Structure 1
Amino acid sequence: MGDVEETVADVGEFALIRRITGGRPKGAATLLGPGDDAAVLAAPDGRVVACTDVLVEGVHFRFDWSPPTQVGSKAAAVNLADIAAMGATPTGLLVGLACPSTTPASVVDELSAGLAAEAARARVGVVGGDMARSDTFVISVTALGSLDGRAPVTRSGAMPGDVVAVAGKLGWSAAGLAVLGRGFRSPVTVVGAHRVPAPPYAAGPSAALAGATSMIDVSDGLLADLAHIAEASTVAIDLVGGLIPVDQRLIEVASALGADARHWVLTGGEDHALAATFPSASSVPPEFRVIGSVTRGAGVTIDGKAYTGDPGWQHWR
């Protein structure tokens, strides 16, 4: 008989925590990392930007579609993108993990490696967290950030006359989900975009420095998230259809699946691009591309017309 795989119950909580945190880089803002009742992070700005996301197995990820390293990377990315969307720089991550006692310890090892790798891409580390037993595998990540003396870029600052611009990919995660849903595992670049998003972290602070009037992480879909800006700012947003990029690779995948690539770009979530408004086209930083404008009124339109398809992801719908 082969060796029986070690589970989290075999390892024990505190030994597992040491395996997860031991030897990992913590980031420049970390003054005291894991090992005490709480971590200590420097906050010279005097303010801390904070956000939390919960990822549930079977809802936000599937281990038969994504290996634990990629699930860990995604769990970090979805939170770090929210920090960037406020115009802030990430400073640290706190991670809560709940899983069945029969979970192989190797799954948690790989998950933590993915978390650490994505955190390192944003130049931060995992500074603490908690673990618990659960019938369902759940990851809860809290990201912290610093505004570095700047005002936060909220959803409520867009003004008529502003231009609308985006940074990062659109529609790729939705395309990857559609491919996986059909039982395929390729094209690898498209499937990989769903498994591990690539938020443009540096574009958030860049937008803030350029004078962005509002910004949001595109997690639920471009139209849905721009609608949040329109509502919070009491304005209307009109997109120019010809300026919204649809990558040729998405067109090819959509053709093979009998789907609509443009629909993925407009409504697909989980790419974690950044959408922002700026006072003028000349103020838009190079990471962003202009796709529309802000006007008086309400709602989001494309070439002056409402989009009639599904507008994007909504929980419990």
Structure 2
Amino acid sequence: MPTSPITPPGGTEADVSLSEVGEFGLITRVTSGRRQPPTTLLGPGDDAAVVAAGDGRVVATTDVLVQGVHFRLDWSSPEQIGRKAAAVNLSDVVAMGAVPTALLVGLACPASTPAAVAAGIADGLWAEADVAGAGVVGGDLSSASTMVVAVTALGSLEGREPVTRGGARPGDVVAVAGRLGWAAAGLAVLGRGFRSPAVLVDAQRTPQPPYAAGPAAARAGATSMIDVSDGLLADLGHVASASGVRIELDRAAFAVPYRLGEIASALGADPLDWILTGGEDHALAATFAPDTALPEGFTPVGQVSDGDPAVLVDGAAHEGEPGWRHFPPA
């Protein structure tokens, strides 16, 4: 962690609040001494940043994480919250077949928030951006009654066309990369008041998107792709609708990891339901022409066919919700 200019003599960041530190004291703390990738031409410190756009196009996406809805400070450390806020955006960038370049961050929180919490969130953002090869190039800080972390991610297509949701064609192979069901299992464990097994709980706290798999899929000629944020069935439903096709999944294609099965048995849950409908793992789902050699990390799980847009599992519609709904019916 960088040396903090806001630590009081003989104390720690936990001893001071944001109202004592002030906006610019925190900005200095979270930006000083940080490493930027070559795509950052001008980083934090001016009215705006300058980020290189190699072929004149920029992939852009944004997400808002709200305390009590997307994260809880009694479940996650500030750094884990920061990493998650970065990951959910960076995953959307790679789902377009792009390479992440930069993050812009807006943080709103009560003035009484310990400076250590805000600094920890920033540390997590920087750490996850570094994993993806991006930089944190700017942002904003504001006072609010509830903590909100808003992140905008930018990416470069490197001369390729974007891989959208609308290109799946009958006959294509459906494949996934990354973990599925782990974050949902971790949420179930946390919801029961437990903090282990750590591998599942940490999957909920800090997702691990397969960053390299997105650009690799684009280079291999993926016809469509999507970030699995709300659940595989729900997100493939967007692909089916955008492409005007039917997607048919094979239940036997999904291997249930041992720890997932073990915890599902203990909680009386169906691990395959977590895999098919659980969100927040930020895996990638893509479609490929049938003669395509799948990129490393992708596993075939079904195929695309003609028909009204729908997602079927072993030829039948899934019973129940296909994934997370941000605005469920009252």
| Superposition TM-score tier, normalisation by shorter sequence | over 0.9
- Is 1:271 the counterpart of 2:285? The answer is no
For 1:207, the equivalent position in structure 2 comes to: 217
- Is 1:158 the counterpart of 2:175? The answer is no
- Is 1:109 the counterpart of 2:119? The answer is yes
Q: CA deviation at 1:316?
A: 1.3
CA distance in 2, matches of 1:148, 1:40: 17
For 1:293, the equivalent position in structure 2 comes to: 303
- Is 1:309 the counterpart of 2:320? The answer is yes
- Is 1:120 the counterpart of 2:135? The answer is no
CA distance in 2, matches of 1:287, 1:24: 31
For 1:37, the equivalent position in structure 2 comes to: 47
Structure 1 counterpart SS, 2:317? coil
Tell me if the contact between 1:26 and 1:92 (Cα under 8 Å) persists in the aligned partners. Answer: no
Q: Please list the CA deviations of residues 262-289 of structure 1 after superposition, one character each: whole Å capped at 9, or x if unmatched.
A: 1000000000000000002543112100
For 1:178, the equivalent position in structure 2 comes to: 188
CA distance in 2, matches of 1:118, 1:314: 26
Tell me if the contact between 1:83 and 1:145 (Cα under 8 Å) persists in the aligned partners. Answer: yes
CA distance in 2, matches of 1:63, 1:35: 29
Tell me if the contact between 1:86 and 1:216 (Cα under 8 Å) persists in the aligned partners. Answer: yes
Question: Scaled by the length of structure 2, what TM-score is found?
Answer: 0.94
Stretches of structure 1 that go unaligned for 5 or more consecutive residues are none
Match of 2:252 among 242, 249, 253: 242
Stretches of structure 2 that go unaligned for 5 or more consecutive residues are 1-9
Q: CA deviation at 1:189?
A: 0.3
For 2:234, the equivalent position in structure 1 comes to: 224
Structure 1 counterpart SS, 2:15? coil
Structure 1 counterpart SS, 2:74? coil
Match of 1:194 among 180, 196, 204: 204
List aligned pairs for 1:74-113, cutoff 5 A.
Answer: 74-113=84-123
CA distance in 1, matches of 2:291, 2:139: 42
- Among the aligned pairs, what percent are the same residue? 64
Structure 2 counterpart SS, 1:66? coil
Which shifted more, 307-316 or 138-147? 307-316
Tell me if the contact between 2:178 and 2:210 (Cα under 8 Å) persists in the aligned partners. Answer: yes
Q: CA deviation at 1:124?
A: 1.3
Q: What number of residue pairs does the alignment pair up?
A: 316
For 2:147, the equivalent position in structure 1 comes to: 137
CA distance in 2, matches of 1:311, 1:124: 32
Q: Which amino acid aligns with 2:316?
A: K
Q: CA deviation at 1:68?
A: 0.3
CA distance in 1, matches of 2:291, 2:110: 52
When the two chains are superposed, the root-mean-square deviation of aligned CA atoms in Å is 1.1
- Is 1:13 the counterpart of 2:26? The answer is no
